[in-house]
Amino acid sequence: MKHRKHRLLAIGTALILLGGVLCGCKASSAETLPEESAPAQIQTGTIAAQSGYLSSPLQEYSSYVSDGFSCTVTEYSTPMETLDALLSGESDLGVVPLPAIIKAQSEGQPLKILCNFFQKGATVVAPAEGDIDTIQDLKNRSVGYVEGSTEYTLLRLLLKSENIDSSTIEWISFKPEELNEALKSQTIDAYCGDMSYAGTAIIESFGKIISYPYQDALGYNNLVLVTTDSAISQKRDWLQEMVNTNRTVMEMVASNHDWQSSQAERLGIDPMAISVEQDNFQWLWDLEEEYVIYSRNLASEMLNAELITQMPDFNTSFDFTFLEKTNQEYLS
């Protein structure tokens, strides 16, 4: 009996030791199994823009952004609504007219211009039949405009350069899509608007362009990509991806007439309206050195015309680090 007891004890001990070894192997095996990797985080953001033909390249962004990024485009009726969305934090990036940005910066708003988006595009349109043939004929007339638009600012500055008192004009604010109807119904005598509406007035024979309100010292500025200081601190990588994407998209659409026609049709615009104004618009991503000079000149003229009350600080108006990185990535 003693021998049997010892034998059972030995077997029990062996089983315990074997169990320990097996448990140890199992634990060791579990420790070396690779952990499941967490799904990649998508960096997202929102771009604010005025609806219409000028901002239509934004519709291509989602097809060109790199993996790990996404963007949503929110459209507004006017430039000021677009700017308000950016300043309120509803959007991270905006496509905004340069004059509206200059005014906001002069009032202390923490905005930074990142890169170009659209140049030219400004027109002054009068009825095809009538006695308004030059901007001199606008005195004592009613003129439609869009608040915050480049077209309005350029016309105001051109009037001043021609010694025309802008207070002799009745200025009536509209949404962009209302301008042509207001002209046809004789609610206004003329309007300043973008080339897509002017082109429609021309091909439908109810309007004529009496001025492209540009001045050499001001260049051909219009829309730029702009953001806020807080967005830069919180979403620098996402903003960089948008600047990169902007370059890619602009190089695709700039001279792609088929794409331009398809976008016009998408928006209910006759492609001929775009074609007749082909020389009066340019989608562009880069900012040339002269752009800052032109912007400063524009601000100075806006100050003289009492469209702003003080000059913005042009040492802080632009952030070129995004464009610099975009160029480095394309060269590498």
State pTM to two decimals.
0.87
Cα torsion 95, 96, 102, 106: sign: negative
Arithmetic mean of pLDDT over the chain:
90
CA 327 to chain centre: 19
Length of the chain: 332
List the domain boundaries for the chain: 43-119+221-331, 122-217
Q: What is the pLDDT of residue 35?
A: 53
Query: Which residue, 152, 143, 142, 169, is CA-closest to 78?
Result: 152
Q: Tell me what percent of the chain is helix, strand and coil, each rounded to the nearest 5.
A: 50, 20, 30
Residue that is written with structure tokens 């608040």 in the block = 147
Give yes or no for residue 125 having a pLDDT over 70: yes
110 CB-contact burial (10 Å; exposed 0-12 / middle 13-18 / buried 19+): middle
CB neighbour burial string for 319-332, b if at least 16 within 10 angstroms, e if fewer: beebbeebeeeeee
Query: Which residue, 55, 118, 150, is CA-closest to 281?
Result: 118
In the CATH hierarchy, which fold is given to the domain comprising 43-119+221-331? D-Maltodextrin-Binding Protein; domain 2 (3.40.190)
Cα torsion 42, 47, 51, 56: sign: negative
d(Cα 202, Cα 125) in Å, to the nearest integer? 9
Q: What is the pLDDT of residue 329?
A: 77
Q: Which CATH superfamily is domain 122-217 in?
A: Periplasmic binding protein-like II (3.40.190.10)
Question: pLDDT digits over 299-316, tens only?
Answer: 999 999 999 999 999 999
For residues 307 and 218, the answer to whether their CB atoms sit within 8 Å is no
Question: pLDDT digits over 173-222, tens only?
Answer: 999 999 999 999 999 999 999 999 999 999 999 999 999 999 999 999 99
Whether 122-217 and 43-119+221-331 are alike in CATH topology: the answer is yes
Q: What is the pLDDT of residue 40?
A: 67
Question: pLDDT digits over 136-157, tens only?
Answer: 999 999 999 999 999 999 999 9
Query: Which residue, 54, 68, 63, is CA-closest to 245?
Result: 63
d(Cα 154, Cα 139) in Å, to the nearest integer? 16
- What percent of the chain is modeled with pLDDT above 90? 85
331 pLDDT band, cuts 50/70/90, is: low
Instruction: Determine the straight-line distance between the first and last CA of the chain, rounded to whole angstroms.
Output: 86
